[in-house]
Chain A
Amino acid sequence: MKDKMDERLDQLFAAARNEGLAIPLADDFFETRLLARIKEQRESAQPWYAAAWRLLPAFAAVAAMVTVCTLSFNPSRSSDMFAAITGGQDEVVGMSILTGE
């Protein structure tokens, strides 16, 4: 059921519809100004590779982070071949003792 406020709203909508709008349809220069803006945008537009250099700091930061992570989390490799081989064998021997194999 419509209340008084609904009726008033409908009246306001009807009045606004009927009154019409002040629209400058006679503006002959609208298209000219629009095309000028489009041409300006077209000229200022850059291909993606022209802006690629702006990503250089980001690439450098990623490379630095990868380097730091690699150095921090990977154990340093021994230059002594015998120590490297026996180090690996210690683990195998320990495992055999624990599992009884």
Chain B
Amino acid sequence: MASAADNEPSDESLVSAACAGDDEAFTQLVARHKGRVFRLAARFSRNSLELDDISQDVFIKAYEKLSTFRNDAPFEHWLVRVAVRVCHDALRSRKHEKNHLPLDEHGPELRDRGEEARSEAREAREILAFALERLKPDERLVITLLELEQLTVRETAAVTGWSEANVKVRGFRARQALKRVLEKYDER
């Protein structure tokens, strides 16, 4: 007996249909993969509005480039590459906003939250978010993919388009930068 999953069209057939102008097929693709895109975009977003914007940009870019998709790799891998590129662009576009972000910013807020005895995990995430905001876009991208998304060096190289050696170097530098930010944070 055929299960419901067997009856569902494959990603590849949906891509072909979407390329031929079938919007319904593209909607199915979005519904199928939006969870993965949301999870990745959430690592780089500051609020739910930004998350929504980045996620929409990812799928719009994917729609525009759909004809370049080759069936030599799963659609999800291709989509993640598009998503990483859009997230990187988003980080770079807001770089000028925080070029000289003072270390004191968010500090009182964090202290208040500490006084409110929030959970340890949440506080850790907030400290990390505070530190990540102070990294360069490249550093933030690579450290997020390696440490939070737990991609391997090879996978990170594949989704960023950088060489594996480059990923290692950037990852090391990002870690050093993160340590410096945390040291300064502790000194306050």
- On A, residues with C-beta under 8 Å from B are 5-6, 8-9, 11-13, 15-19, 21-25, 27, 30-31, 33-35, 37-39, 41
Contact = CB atoms under 8 A, between A and B. Distances in A.
Contacts of A35: 23, 26-27
Contacts of B55: 30
A37 B182 contact: no
Interface of B: 23, 26-27, 30-31, 34-35, 38-39, 42-43, 48, 51-52, 55-56, 59-60, 63, 120-122, 124-125, 127-129, 131, 147-148, 150, 175, 178-179, 182-183
Given A25-B35, A33-B56, A37-B60, A12 B48 contact: no
Contact of B148 (A6, A11, A17, A31): A17
Given A31-B27, A37-B60, A23 B42 contact: yes
B148 A34 contact: no
Contacts of B124: 11-12, 15-16, 19
A5 B179 contact: yes
B56 A15 contact: no
Contacts of A9: 175, 178-179, 182
Contacts of B39: 21, 23
Nearest to A13: B147
Q: Chain B contact residues: over half helix, strand or loop, or mixed?
A: helix
A30 B60 contact: no
Contacts of B52: 24, 27, 30
A17 B150 contact: yes
Nearest 5 A-B pairs (CB), nearest first? A15-B124, A21-B42, A13-B147, A16-B125, A12-B128
Contacts of A16: 124-125, 128-129, 148
Contacts of A38: 23, 26, 60, 63
B43 A34 contact: no
20 contacts: A5-B179, A8-B182, A9-B175, A9-B178, A9-B179, A9-B182, A13-B128, A13-B148, A15-B120, A19-B121, A19-B122, A19-B125, A21-B39, A22-B48, A24-B48, A24-B51, A31-B34, A38-B23, A39-B23, A41-B60
